[in-house]
Structures are given as C-alpha cells and as structure tokens.
A and B are shown apart, each in its own frame.
Chain A
C-alpha cells in the first residue's frame, strides 16, 4: 500500500534520514498499520464536522505588559553548539 518511494518522500518531508535497509521494513510496517486504519473509510461521515480539540482554546492577545522572560544565557545554555549569543549550525549549503 505504501511503497518505497512514498516512504522516501514522507521521510524527506519529516526531515528524517532513513538508511537503505530501513526503507523496506518501514514500508511494510506503515502499510500494515494503515490497513487497520482504513476501516474508518467504511463509515458514512458525510456532513459530520471535524473535531480538532474538545475544548475551545482561548484566543486573542494577552495584555502588552513587560514581564520576565528567558534570558539569553539560559536560552543558549542547553544548545549542542552555541557561539556568541546564538545557536551555531553548519552552512545550509555544504
């Protein structure tokens, strides 16, 4: 149901590297799970509204008042690589 090309495509969308020997098992496992999930295709759901969340999240803006927020030091403290005041990463183009 899900072939190897689809697996590679979805992995790319997920920013998830898959090794060559991991593609086939992933295709098999996802196909098996989707086979069970497709039972919901049998239901007549015409006109049924979707439920995203059972509570209505508060929306709108909070008052624009100064408050304490995370300091720069604390923000970069747990980074795998930080320099000066930022997160350091390799160039987008290698």
Chain B
C-alpha cells in the first residue's frame, strides 16, 4: 500500500481497524522519519509502541500521586478509535519513567512517577507515545528559541522559527514526523505555532481537559491542545482528551458541550462570524491580511455572514496577560528548588542551594518572567499590576460574552506575521510577546479556538483563528472543516525547503531536502 504516513490520522486508524495497516508498522514508519528529523522537533523518541507504557510500574497506566486510581471513559464509537495511533507529546506532559524536562536545564534527566491525564486518556484508548517534542522552556516563549534542547527549525524554511511554545509539536506534524501531537496553550502556544507551521492547532475550552501531569506555567490559563494536519484529526484527538472531570485537577469541569464527533460540514449557511475591527488595526502584515480577507470571502461563499464586532478591551489583553501569566509562573516555578527533583547547583548552605540552582537551571526568559511576576505580586505593586490585570481580564471576558450575543464565531488572523527569522526577536522581549496579540484575548476569556492554515504569504503559512463561546468546539470544528475543504491548503512543506546554517539555540540544521 501507499506510505501510511501520507494518510490522515482518521484514515490511519480506519486502516488499522480494517487490518490494512498494522500498528507496529505504522509506529516504525514514523519512528524512522522522526529519527532522521532535521528540525530538532523531538527531545526523546520511544523505541517502540510499548516503550512509554512499559515504563509504568505494576502495569498501572497512570498511578495517581495522591488520590484514587483513575479510570478513563473512552469514546465507544469505532469511528473515534485511536487504537494504534502514534502520538507525539510536548515535553511538559509527564509520562511515567519517560524523560520529561519541560525543556529546562533544571529538569534535564527527570523521569516522573506519574502520567498526565491527557496522555493517559489517549493511552487508555490504545494510542501510543511516539516521543516527546521540543518546546520553549516551561512553555514561555513564542518562537521555541528558549529551549535547553536548542531551537526548532520551521519545516517550511529552516532559517525561521516554528513559533512557540509548542514549536516541536507543530513542526513535527508539519514535517510528517507524527500524525498528531499534543501541545499546550497558555496564551497561544498551540494556535500560533500551528499557524506558523501550516497545521491545525486546537485550544479547547479552559477546564475541559485535565491539567494533571502538565508541568504548570500559568494555571488559570494553561490548557492542553492538539496539533494535527487537518480538522478531523484534531477532532479525533479532542474526543479522547475530554470526558468526565478529573478528580486530580480541581479546575477540570468535565465536558459540558454537545457530543464530539468527526466534523463533516461543508456549508456555513446561517453562521454568523464576527470580525473584531479593533484587533485588526496596525501591525498585521499585508500578506497575512490578504489571506485572512480571502478566507472571509470563502466563508461568505459557503453561506456565512460576516459581521463587524468590537472587543473593546482585547487590545489590553497583551498587557494583562504579561502580568497574570508571569505572576502565576513565579508561584508555580517556586517548586523548582533543587531538593526533590531536577538538577542541583553546589552550595554550602540551603538558601544558596535554592538561589544557585534556580540561576543555573533556568534560562534567561524564565528568569525574566519569574522576576516580572514576583515584582507584580510584591508589596506596594500588587494592586497596580496584578489587581488591575485581573480587572482587565473581567472586561475581556465580558467583551466576548457581549460579542457572542451577536455572532456565533469570531475570526482573526492567528498571528499578525508569518514565521520570522531565527534570532530576529530574541533581543526584544516585547516584540516577541506581541506575536500572541491575536490569541491572548481568547486565553484570558478561557474560550475555545482553532487555527487552520488559510494560505501562504511569500511561501510561508498564514493561520486563520476561529473562536467561540465555552464548549463551542463542535461548531468551531464544523466551520473549520468546511473552510479547510473550501480553502484546499496544501500542508506539505516544499521538498526543496529553504535551509539554514543552524538555529540560534544550536539546533542541527544540516542538509537541504525537506523532511516531507
């Protein structure tokens, strides 16, 4: 038969069910491609489909650290089976016995004693862990250049960033090194790299997917998500990530939306899509704007109506986010002190042990965010920064609620620019932070959003973001599927791929010849 890695995940699992494909062979095909990867997308590769599961003692799939042994509801519908599907997993998801470092020097070599619920649910459905993917350290970054494992190269142009923080997951899927990948999205970390790598990125409703076993960055914003080659593949994985509330994550509220299945819509009749004019001012590349406008025209041709809306506080989301997320991070990362896990710096007294371990273990961006967050929470500044940022968040939540009285979905470009050059923004934190200006408002509001490829600008992918109200995933997926079919984006990076001399972080960019 044809090379199975050219099939969608949905077609792969159908072929597995029909006996036209065997799971070991499919795994080996991806393992071989991933081992020859020249984008630095992976930090660890499993030897075989049972490798990650075999590291679990006593056959337990997800030994609870403190609580009852969990059981997971697996979708009963055969069409939603993931049995035999290899999945790439962002490094920050704990997998029992498997190296898990959140791409930090501080945690290099750490092998956790538990498995993240998102991963365990997929394993319960029969999926296998192909490997761990590169990311920005502790998910802090928009370019995947802040990784102790080196920068990831964009498969479309190896002189450019893949976006971040789930850059390895996006690049791996784009380069055909994995059928699907798990990422996490705190302020755009699934959607933005998906846009820059020309793949689909889905951030579900906050609370719908358990955060248990994800190494935390900003707990009120972190959400597991999916990177996939098409919308149906993303929907397939989402059906497994969601289900009953996880007793081990107090913000896990269980799936409360309509039943999830594979989207099949090819029309958008009656759908009202809002375009927030106040987010579409300056700073958007003309080529990105042109692809976005073309996608809106396509939506109209499919029967949707385009409605201008306002999200008056969305432009303040960037500032609010860069108070709230660092504040939460400064608290979450307090646990990395060189005592219970991770690497320790030599010191003669306890406080020096903490401070040196954290200086040597954290990279510059993580240190910067810890400092920023600690400052924003410190006496004398709390009200002016953290308090106000939380009030802005309230206004952003209200903006979305008001908008959804008028429209079903909201569309924006996912990123104001296409992928930029490695090293181009590393000296200017704010320029880097602005990369997420379109994705942060939805994160603050906790609403679901997807990025799908909608065209090319100068040979580089452009992403279209569609968001909806909480638990609006079925409608988002249907609309994204219909648009995806009508747009007909070719997600295969050019085989001749532009190549570079090596990433800013020391990644290996060696030869020409695209991975796909």
Complex CA gap A18/B370 in Å reads 12
Task: Answer whether A51 and B349 are a contact pair too, CB < 8 Å, given A67-B69, A74-B113.
Answer: no
Asked whether, in the complex, the Cβ of A16 is within 8 Å of the Cβ of B355, the reply is: yes
Say whether A68 contacts B64, CB under 8 Å: yes
| Cβ-defined partner of A40 (8 Å) among B343, B367, B374, B389 | B389
B220 touches which one: A53, A75, A79, A92 (CB < 8 A)?
A: A53
Measured CA separation A11–B370 after assembly (Å): 9
- The one of B68, B114, B337, B358 in contact with A67, judged by C-beta atoms closer than 8 angstroms, is B68
Picked from A13, A43, A87, A90, the residue with its CB within 8 Å of the CB of B374 is A13
Instruction: Evaluate contact between A89 and B371: CB separation under 8 angstroms.
Output: no
Chain A residue numbers with a CB within 8 Å of B353 are: 89-90
Task: Give the number of residues in B that approach A within 8 Å (Cβ atoms).
Answer: 76
- Interface status of B18 (Cβ within 8 A of chain A): no
Chain A contacts for B251, CB-based, 8 A: 53, 55, 57
Binary flags per residue of A73-94, CB closer than 8 Å to B gives 1, else 0: 0110111110000010111111
Other-chain contact of A33, B65, B352, B397, B430 (Cβ < 8 Å)? B430
Interface string of A52-73 (1 = CB under 8 A from B): 1111011100100101111000
* Contact A50:B391 (CB < 8 A) given known A37-B322, A68-B69, A69-B65: yes
- The contact sample of 8 A-B pairs, CB cut-off 8 A, is A14-B358, A15-B334, A15-B355, A16-B370, A39-B319, A43-B391, A54-B445, A69-B67
Interface residues of chain B, those whose CB is within 8 Å of chain A, are 63-69, 110-114, 206-207, 220, 245, 247, 250-251, 253, 313, 316, 318-320, 322-323, 330, 334, 337-344, 347-356, 358-359, 362, 367-368, 370-372, 374-375, 378, 384-385, 387-395, 397, 429-430, 433, 445-446, 470
Report A's interface with B, CB cutoff 8 A: 2, 6-7, 9-11, 13-19, 26, 29-30, 32-34, 36-41, 43, 45, 48-55, 57-59, 62, 65, 67-70, 74-75, 77-81, 87, 89-94
